[in-house]
């Protein structure tokens, strides 16, 4: 639920966003790996993205087709999705909405504490700050958890208004407008990567493009934590099922459908279901594969 948006809207926005220089990245290495800083040519669906004005867009060109159909349920849910899109374009209201439905992100924070923080404490004892990339961070709701633990926190998103809100709200975190399929960081720059509620808005080929970049910028001994909305057969979580219907993400997958998207770049350290308020997530704890 973290990123309520239609798939075209999430990915199309990258067409009009300027990629930004990552603060603190070694300049010599960054020159070797970064993509050109010129604007990407706008895609025809940019107007659709702007109309919805949603939260954490993290990608590239729009998918050619949506996983949704055009049946009566879709027509019934369309006004609700427009309302969600209206809320998501207003950071303060959107954060209130999400805190209610996800219980102030309590479970997300618990999983982060268990899967990422122990390694961070070890890195701190070694005399340096751990670097984390929050990919598709939106308004930066999870940044305080990392900043309090002594991280060098970087959040990226494709929506400038989300980044402006995050910069004002979550100092000293660093926030950049950036395309997640062409990260402007050198190889092995981050110790950890967090992705929450982003990939279910994207078709398989776009997810693979992001995963490939995640592997490139992550240290060989690093770890990625992905938490995504999932489809559960026979679930009695009726409110959660309604939230999924209202979610503009058209690619809500079953847990088993993620395995081929993460390979061959990552190995599974662990995976398990997480109930985040009314939302059913699956946590994937990933470590770089030897490729």
Q: Which two tokens stand for residue 269?
A: 């350290």
What confidence tens digit (pLDDT) does each residue in 247-268 have? Answer: 545 788 999 999 999 999 999 9
Strand intervals (E) in 22-144: 131-135
Is the CB of residue 222 less than 8 Å from the CB of residue 192? yes
Instruction: Indicate the pTM of the whole model.
Output: 0.69
Statement: residue 285 has pLDDT above 50: yes
Q: Which residues contact 10 (CB under 8 A, 6 or more apart)?
A: 3, 49, 54, 56, 57, 58, 59, 158, 198, 201, 202
What confidence tens digit (pLDDT) does each residue in 202-258 have? Answer: 999 999 999 999 999 999 999 999 999 887 654 545 554 545 554 545 788 999 999
Give the pLDDT of residue 97. 63
What confidence tens digit (pLDDT) does each residue in 60-103 have? Answer: 433 333 445 566 766 766 776 676 666 666 777 766 766 666 66
What confidence tens digit (pLDDT) does each residue in 107-154 have? Answer: 999 999 999 999 999 999 999 999 999 999 989 999 999 999 999 999
Alpha carbon of 64 to those of 5, 107, 202, 225, 230: distances in Å?
16, 34, 11, 28, 22
For residue 83, give the H/E element and its range.
helix 72-88
- How would you list the strands of the sheet with 266-276, edge to edge? 174-177, 152-157, 131-135, 190-196, 218-229, 279-288, 266-276
Tally Cβ neighbours within 10 Å of residue 83.
11
What confidence tens digit (pLDDT) does each residue in 162-205 have? Answer: 899 999 999 999 999 999 999 999 999 999 999 998 999 899 99
């Amino acid at each position: 639920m973290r990123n309520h948006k239609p798939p075209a809207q999430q990915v199309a926005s990258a067409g009009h966003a300027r990629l930004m220089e990552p603060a603190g990245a070694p300049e010599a290495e960054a020159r070797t790996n970064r993509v050109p800083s010129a604007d990407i040519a706008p895609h025809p669906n940019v107007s659709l993205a702007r109309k919805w004005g949603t939260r954490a867009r993290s990608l590239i060109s729009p998918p050619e087709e949506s996983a949704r159909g055009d049946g009566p349920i879709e027509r019934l849910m369309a006004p609700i999705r427009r309302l969600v899109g209206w809320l998501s374009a207003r950071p303060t209201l959107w954060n209130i909405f999400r805190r209610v439905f996800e219980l102030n992100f309590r479970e997300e924070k618990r999983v982060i504490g268990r899967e990422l923080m122990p390694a961070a404490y070890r890195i701190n004892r070694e005399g340096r700050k751990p670097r984390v990339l929050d990919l598709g961070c939106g308004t930066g709701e999870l940044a305080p958890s990392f900043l309090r633990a002594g991280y060098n926190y970087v959040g990226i998103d494709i929506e400038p208004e989300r980044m402006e809100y995050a910069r004002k709200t979550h100092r000293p975190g660093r926030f950049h407008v950036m395309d997640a399929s062409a990260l402007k960081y050198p190889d092995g720059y981050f110790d950890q990567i967090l992705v929450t509620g982003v990939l279910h808005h994207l078709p398989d080929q776009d997810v693979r493009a992001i995963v490939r970049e995640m592997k490139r910028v992550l240290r060989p001994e690093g770890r990625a934590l992905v938490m995504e909305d999932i489809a559960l057969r026979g679930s009695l979580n009726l409110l959660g099922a309604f939230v999924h219907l209202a979610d503009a993400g058209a690619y809500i997958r079953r847990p088993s459908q993620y395995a081929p998207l993460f390979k061959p770049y990552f190995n599974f350290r662990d995976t398990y279901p997480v109930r985040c308020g009314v939302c059913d997530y699956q946590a994937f704890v990933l470590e770089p594969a030897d490729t």
